[in-house]
Amino acid sequence: MNRSSLLAAAGVFAFAVAVYFLVPSATPAESAVPMQAPEPAGKVPHSMGEVSLTFAPVVKRVAPAVVNVYSRSVVQAPAMNPFFNDPFFQRFFGVNPQMRQRVQQSLGSGVIVRPDGLILTNNHVIEGGQDIVVALSDKREFKAKVILADQRTDLAVLKIDTKGEKLPTVEFGDSDRLQVGDLVLAIGDPFGVGQTVTMGIVSALARTDVGASNYQFFIQTDAAINPGNSGGALVTTDGKLAGINSAIYSRTGESVGIGFAIPANLARRVVDGAQSGGIKLPWIGADGQAVTGEIAASLGLPRPEGVLLKDIFPGGPAAQAGLRTGDVILSIDGVAVSDMQSLNYRVATHKPGDTVKAQIASHGRVSNAAVKLALPPAGSRDGAVIGGHNPLTGARVETLSPAVAVDLQMDLMAKGVVIRAVSDNSLAAGYGFQPGDIVRAVNGQVITSTGQLQHVLNAGGSHWDMVIDRGGQRMNLSVDG
């Protein structure tokens, strides 16, 4: 069973913890059914109803719609030969270790959301998988086809052929109606031991610093979830899908009571996109930052809240709605936003062409603005792999545009050519280039397109002076080759 992790810094801890994807389940939702007030302490139960409170009816209805997802892939690994793998031998005789193929298997969960076999899971469960198998709760197995895999949201949609049989499903709930303290159930297959159900509460909402997807806006729960739960269902006590379990905070990879689920409202958008030819997430055409106490004081705001706009794309939705740099977006459709991640999430739950109501604070006044959302301009989408003999040989590059910047969660005003991928054992890999690097200039020429970049590299002979932007830091490289 495979498990991947991301390091995250938790401000309330003095140590680093890891965000673990839950590979080797839970569903989206409306508010939990209110519980009756407890009887006074010391009162003896006088009926079976007071003794036998149970979620068994909900589990019986929902559990058959939660499945296991197996993803198999073939990877290259060094052969177990001490002679060829010895670093001393490799260094002095120039022999690379022998490689062999190895089958790698990851295990996760999924949720049936349509009776004809449409299944929702995490992208990281199936990413790189060449043979994906879905096992139903009755132990039948089906080969699955990937209908949509979206790395930005870390969600994927699979389809199995049921030969006309109608499968049980979980109904989407409205995750915006969840409240801290609501009871939730997590259903999945932790560690491959078989389907399990755990109970907890929603311990926080709108977590945006998890780092498990580009559209960070997670439901936090203390329901016990562990590796193997990825893609499973987080459900409310009325059996509606509240979210898709995706990651946990942990130093060991095992549950410590802090788990995260992708809200059902975003998951529903991904499923809709899978059924209509692909997910198209709109944008607001602006970039901003969280309002701190210092910023609030400087702007005359009564408290730190909202998103301060620092860049507005000309002709984009925000610009057309009359928003300006320095304005503060307080809420979208009446729901408060506190940082750019929560603003992007609110926008992503809508469709291109939808109009949202934004509450704006500007120059001491609060007003409303109607913002008509649109798709980010895609530009030429001129992706290409750099050839020839130069420092970038083997890198897949693309001209930066708002659509590319949104995909990569980069500055939407960024210009240049961005590296999307680097082939293993290529010259670009050898020189240390990484996905996300922006090529600003080569041999004194400002780079604006992939075609120009290839031309300048080829004309460079055997010397290249390059300006590279990595994470906002500019690097000047001089390469001879």
Q: 């041999």: which residue's tokens?
A: 443
| 124 a catalytic residue | yes
* Same-domain pairing of 27 and 152: yes
Domain closes at, from 313, 340, 372: 372
Q: What's the CATH number where 401 sits?
A: 2.30.42.10
Integer Cα distance of 175 and 172 in angstroms: 9
Q: 24 pairs with which residues across the strands?
A: none
* Same-domain pairing of 126 and 158: yes
* Same-domain pairing of 226 and 317: no
DSSP assignment string, 221-264: E-S---TT-TT-EEEETTSEEEEEEEEEEESSSS--S-EEEEEH
* Same-domain pairing of 403 and 475: yes
| 327 a catalytic residue | no
Integer Cα distance of 470 and 100 in angstroms: 34
Give the residues of the chain that fall short of pLDDT 70: 1-52, 73-106, 206-216, 250-256
Kindly give, in sequence order, each residue whose CB lies less than 8 Å from that of residue 51, ignoring residues fewer than 6 positions away. Answer: 45
pLDDT value for 339? 87
Quote the domain boundaries for residue 457: 384-480
Number of independent structural domains in the chain: 3
* Same-domain pairing of 108 and 163: yes
pLDDT value for 456? 92
- From the candidates 31, 109, 124, 407, give the one annotated as an active-site residue: 124
* Same-domain pairing of 60 and 22: yes
pLDDT value for 472? 81
Domain closes at, from 260, 277, 294: 277
- From the candidates 25, 109, 137, 230, give the one annotated as an active-site residue: 230
pLDDT value for 191? 72
Q: Considering the domain boundaries, does residue 142 fall inside one? A: yes
- From the candidates 154, 182, 339, 437, give the one annotated as an active-site residue: 154
DSSP assignment string, 59-101: HHHHGGGEEEEEEEEEEEEE-S-HHHH-HHHHHHH-PPPPEEE
pLDDT value for 480? 86
pLDDT value for 35? 42
pLDDT value for 404? 86
Domain closes at, from 351, 372, 393: 372
pLDDT value for 459? 87
pLDDT value for 101? 54
Kindly give, in sequence order, each residue whose CB lies less than 8 Å from that of residue 250, ignoring residues fewer than 6 positions away. Answer: 17, 18, 20, 256, 258
